[in-house]
Amino acid sequence: MALKPLILEIGTGIDLHGHNATEAARRAVWNAVHQSSLMGLGLFGPDTSKNMVVEVTLAISRPEEVDEETVLAVLPHGKGKLKVIKGGLEIEGREGSGDFTLIANAAVIAKIDV
């Protein structure tokens, strides 16, 4: 059998003042996975949720600062794989203050063996 995509989920995560790329990334993944329900997953077998592969692609302005383990810990089911690319947004807050907001985008694809 082969892995086939079951669902694509999209999320956005923001760290307003903390300058924390991992927190923005974690929030983006949390946002993505909490906008859907895989109600029919059990129809494919009792271990499907445990054995599915969850591919996470993150776009953030500071990819080198993202902690993989923290981000993947958000996933409620499956075996997570993380790919981080440069993207997202970094927006200056109060002019000249050094304050800025990080915005991350996440695409989460759950794949099952069918």
Give the pLDDT score at 39. Answer: 86
pTM listed for this prediction: 0.92
Q: List, for residues 21-47, the tens digit of each pLDDT value.
A: 999 999 999 999 998 888 888 888 888
Q: List, for residues 77-99, the tens digit of each pLDDT value.
A: 999 999 999 999 999 877 777 78
Q: List, for residues 50-60, the tens digit of each pLDDT value.
A: 899 999 999 99
Report the candidate in 60, 65, 104 with the shortest Cα–Cα distance to residue 86.
60
> Helix, strand, coil: what percent of the chain each, to 5?
25, 40, 30
Q: Which amino acid is at 8?
A: L
Place of tokens 């790919």: 83
- Ordered by start, the domain boundaries in the chain are 3-113
Mean pLDDT, range 3-7, rounded to an integer: 94
Report the topology of domain 3-113. 60s Ribosomal Protein L30; Chain: A; (3.30.1330)
Concatenate the DSSP letters of all residues of 34-89 into one string: TT---GGGGGG-TTHHHH-EEEEEEEES-GGG--HHHHHTT-SSSEEEEEEEE-SE
Give the pLDDT score at 54. Answer: 98
Give the pLDDT score at 41. Answer: 86
Mean pLDDT, range 9-31, rounded to an integer: 97
Q: How confident is the model at residue 1 (pLDDT cuts 50, 70, 90)?
A: low
Give the pLDDT score at 57. Answer: 99
